[in-house]
Every structure is written in structure tokens, then in C-alpha cells.
């Protein structure tokens, strides 16, 4: 009887240990993974989208997001919004990024319907344009099937007052390949950044405002 009793106790202990390990393992992985890299961790003209989005989940169409679950963004009454720069875009001499970066910032600032204020207790919204690729008009016209797509992407990070690491990170990207004879690449990029700016502001609005 004693042996059977001890055997039962050992079996129960093993089952409990396995159960606790199964339940705690995901949270352990999350804590090791942490918030991931900030766009500020990358040197100028260097960005790794695949690395940046690790640990993110789908937040909306063409939007990936990571958020610290312990932070309630809706308790803040105002935000300060910095212009997104193009310092992480690759070096090239074919065309200027400035027009598209400015276009994105103008649309994002106007479409973000939050109370904006440069205050010490405001959430900080910062980010960067990380992809601005006109693609290939010839490839779109001659090959099709998605070849030569134009693409634009931004990263957006939310910081609590005084914080040095973001409590929310967002990656938003869109592409385009339509138009007669492959379309106008620059007009396509303008439309892409208009869509990305509006999609980002639409995503942020209900998650911050009351």
C-alpha cells in the first residue's frame, strides 16, 4: 500500500510540475522577448523591418503592433507629436525622399484627431519613415503579377512622459502596382503615404482618446 501511495504522490507531483511549466512558459518567453527594438536603436540609413516586427501582432489592415499590457494609454489627456524623419531610409541619389516624408507628416498631423499639446504630462508620439521605394514601372508594365511594386512604410512609437523606451510600437506599410503602362511611381508613393498616414491615425485615435 505504501508503495502504491508513494507512486501516486510522485505521479501527481510530476503532472503538477508539467502543468505549471506549460502555463508559465509563454509568459517567460514574453518577458525575455520584452518590447523589442526601438527605431532609435538603428544607425542612420539602416533599418531591418523583419527584426523590428518580431513579437508584433496584427492591429489593423497592413498594421502590426506591440503594446505593453501594463500601460493604459487612455488615461492621458494629450499627446505631443514629433515629425517623422527619413534618417533610416537607404542612401540613394535617384530622387529626393523629402517630398514624401513631408507629405506623410502633413497628412498624419491633420488626420490625428487627438488633443495635441507640448506638455510634460503628454504622451509622446515619435516615428520615422523607413521605406520609400518607387519600385519599377517597367516591371509593373511588362511583368505584372506584383513585380516592381512601389512601397512605403513607417514606424510609430508611443512613449509615456519621461520614458526612454516605448510602451507601444507600430509598423505600417502599404504597396501599389496599378495604373496604365505601370502607373506613375511618384504619384503612387504619394498615395501610399496618404493611406498609411490616415490608417495610422485611425488606429491610434480610439486607443488613446477617451
Rounded to 5 degrees, φ, ψ at 51 are -70, -45
Per-residue pLDDT tens for 7-43? 443 343 434 333 334 333 333 333 334 568 999 999 9
Topology (CATH) of 35-208:
Double Stranded RNA Binding Domain (3.30.160)
pLDDT value of position 133:
92
Cell 510540475, located at residue = 17
d(CA 133, CA 151): 5
Instruction: Report CA Rg, the chain.
Output: 23
Residue length of the chain: 210
Rounded to 5 degrees, φ, ψ at 172 are -125, 130
pLDDT value of position 182:
53
Positions of the chain with pLDDT lower than 50, given as ranges:
1-33, 145, 180-181
So where are the chain's domains? 1-33, 35-208
d(CA 108, CA 84): 10
pLDDT value of position 162:
94
pLDDT value of position 10:
36
pLDDT value of position 169:
98
pLDDT value of position 179:
55
Amino acid at each position: 500500500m505504501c508503495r502504491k501511495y508513494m507512486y501516486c504522490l510522485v505521479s501527481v507531483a510530476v503532472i503538477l510540475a508539467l502543468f505549471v511549466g506549460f502555463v508559465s512558459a509563454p509568459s517567460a518567453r514574453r518577458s525575455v522577448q520584452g518590447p523589442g527594438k526601438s527605431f532609435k536603436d538603428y544607425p542612420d540609413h539602416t533599418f531591418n523591418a523583419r527584426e523590428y516586427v518580431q513579437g508584433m501582432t496584427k492591429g489593423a489592415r497592413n498594421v502590426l503592433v506591440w503594446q505593453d499590457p501594463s500601460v493604459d494609454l487612455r488615461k492621458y489627456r494629450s499627446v505631443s507629436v514629433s515629425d517623422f524623419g527619413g534618417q533610416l531610409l537607404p542612401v540613394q541619389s535617384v530622387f529626393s525622399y523629402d517630398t514624401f516624408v513631408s507629405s506623410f507628416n502633413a497628412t498624419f498631423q491633420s488626420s490625428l484627431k487627438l488633443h495635441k499639446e507640448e506638455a510634460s504630462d503628454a504622451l509622446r508620439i515619435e516615428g520615422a519613415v523607413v521605406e520609400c521605394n518607387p519600385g519599377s514601372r517597367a516591371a509593373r508594365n511588362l511583368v505584372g503579377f506584383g513585380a516592381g511594386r512601389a512601397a512605403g512604410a513607417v514606424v510609430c512609437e508611443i512613449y509615456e512622459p519621461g520614458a526612454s523606451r516605448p510602451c507601444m510600437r507600430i509598423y505600417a506599410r502599404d504597396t501599389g502596382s496599378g495604373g496604365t503602362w505601370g502607373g506613375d511611381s511618384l504619384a503612387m508613393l504619394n498615395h501610399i503615404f496618404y493611406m498609411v498616414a490616415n490608417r495610422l491615425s485611425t488606429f491610434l485615435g480610439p486607443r488613446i482618446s477617451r
